[in-house]
Structure 1
Amino acid sequence: MGRGAYALARVAVIVRAPARLLWWLGMLSAGIGALVPGLTGRRIGVLAGAVLFAATAAAAFLARRKRYAELAQGASKASRSVFLQDRAVTARNWRRGRRWWLLAAFPAAVGSSFAVPAAAGLALAGLGAGLWAKALWLGTLERRGEALLWVRTEWAQGSPAAGSVSGYLTTGLAAGDAAPGGARRRPGRAGGRAAVSAAR
């Protein structure tokens, strides 16, 4: 894994980062698209969108699950010299690196409604739902193993399950400012910045 100080980002936070944005962009574009008659008509468009929602949600949830599980199984304990990246920083970095793609997805989904109303928007929302479900699944792995999963930030520029990722590192469940699954910790619970310092 390498020695010395380096930054770690939570695997579940990276997976979860685009989920809410994709969901709301998708639902908003689907709502706008449903107002457009389109070439196929609203009924066919919405039905096609429902199928695409299920398909993209399933694809996002199932993609590379075996790879995630293998990396989690082979994870090693993080050294005390590592820097644990905050949840907000991890999510912001992910979105910043893909902002143009995200900005382009919304008008593209709305524009496609002139052909098939609401379908592309529901597909986009399904992608967000699938990623959110995958983050919850990762949270289940973390609770089962009683350890949070982290990845070196320079290894996960594309995906935390990319081929460039040599392995995951683990800390105790109290480390960092995100709960298992990548959600924000609830106020009053163990964790937060004091837990980050204790985990180093």
Structure 2
Amino acid sequence: MNGLTGAYVRGGSPLHRLPAGAKLAGLAASCTALVLLRSPASLAGAAAVVAALYAISGVGAAAAWAQIRPVRWFVVSLFLLQLLLADAAGAVSSSLRVVLAVALAGLVTLTTRTADLMACLERCLAPAALVGLDPFRLALLLSLTLRSVPVVAGLVTRVREAQLARGVERSPRAFAVPLVVSALRHADALGEALAARGLDD
């Protein structure tokens, strides 16, 4: 399942060795802290901590950039919107908050094997068995949902860049049709991979 849903980068860093449950708990606590941080200066300090964590993990700059790249245009749009509705400080803070949350979630994915993440989620969802639900399938669904967010964001980015290259950036059809086709192709590939593992029923 690792190649199907994850972007795990092999390594022996302290973050790689940390249990999946601890990393998920740390992610939840960190995202909560990001919401509470208000000033650009405090968020800049948080950015330095995130950069240090990436350095400790040893996943490499390319893998780190791959986590942020799909949301870059969303962040730019958010910054401009906040600049119009609020002020420069608020725009910087909102944008940094999104970038850091995505980077932290990506770091968990990069340093955690999908099998370990799935096992942790399955344990957390074990009480669902009391009402007739399969914890494994719920964990798989959650894992696939989380993984689909950056995948779809990446598809949006590629379609938008293709629009700009063809000079049809103002055409809704030129954006929607390739995006839907690409998403359906991804869904087909995902379905075939699940079927090959006996998870299609």
Q: TM-score, normalised by structure 2?
A: 0.28
More strand by share: 1
